[in-house]
């Protein structure tokens, strides 16, 4: 009986340490574990080599609509929880890559990831800055002055229209 109690006690100790380790993961670690394989810099800006838009593009689109950290984190974590094409800020990405598949992740972890993305210490694929300048003007990656309604960009210039046509 004493042996069973010792084994049970050790099992509980190991289990509680495993849970603590998961709770203490940073947004960067969670991003690398759950998101980078699709949204990382692999493939650069060659959309034929990518399976999803780069996270720098996701940040750029979301921060232009959700400028403060709390609303950004809420919007991104809600998207991860329930993808809804009608609420997308990136319809071109959905046309190019399809809608993001559902993933199983705790809401608290999704919020950590979103906060990490908001803080901006994220990888940008080679050619990203040039892509932004060419497709979205000289707005330093935030798309200032552009509005999103879930169906594309308002105030599109000729290059944006060309980009939209290429994304179809």
Query: What DSSP line would sit under 96-155, residue for residue?
Result: HH-SPPP----HHHHHHHHHHHHHT-----TTHHHHHHHHH-SSTTS-TT--B-SSSBSS
Domain extent at residue 64 = 2-167
Report whether 93 contacts 52 (CB < 8 A). yes
116: number of Cβ within 10 Å: 21
Structural domain count, the chain: 1
Nearest-angstrom CA–CA distance, 20 and 22: 5
**The pair of three-digit structure tokens given for residue 127, joined into one six-digit string:** 């050619």
pLDDT digit string, tens, across residues 39-94: 988 878 888 889 999 999 999 999 999 999 999 999 999 999 999 999 899 999 99
Rounded to two decimals, what is the model's pTM?
A: 0.66
pLDDT per position as a tens digit, 109-157: 999 999 999 998 888 888 888 888 888 775 544 443 333 333 333 333 3
Predicted pLDDT at 134: 86
């Amino acid at each position: 009986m004493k042996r069973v109690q010792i084994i049970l006690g050790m099992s509980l100790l190991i289990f509680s340490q495993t849970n603590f380790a998961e709770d203490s993961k940073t947004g960067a670690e969670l991003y690398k574990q759950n998101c980078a394989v699709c949204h990382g810099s692999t493939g650069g800006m060659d959309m034929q080599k990518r399976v999803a838009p780069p996270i720098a593009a996701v940040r750029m689109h979301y921060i232009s609509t959700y400028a403060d950290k709390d609303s950004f984190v809420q919007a991104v974590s809600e998207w991860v929880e329930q993808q809804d094409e009608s609420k997308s800020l990136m319809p071109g990405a959905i046309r190019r890559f399809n809608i993001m598949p559902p993933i199983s992740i705790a809401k608290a972890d999704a919020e950590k990831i979103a906060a990490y993305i908001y803080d901006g210490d994220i990888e940008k694929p080679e050619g990203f800055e040039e892509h932004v300048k060419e497709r979205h003007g000289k707005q330093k990656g935030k798309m200032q002055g552009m509005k999103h309604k879930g169906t594309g960009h308002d105030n599109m210039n000729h290059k944006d229209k060309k980009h939209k046509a290429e994304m179809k």
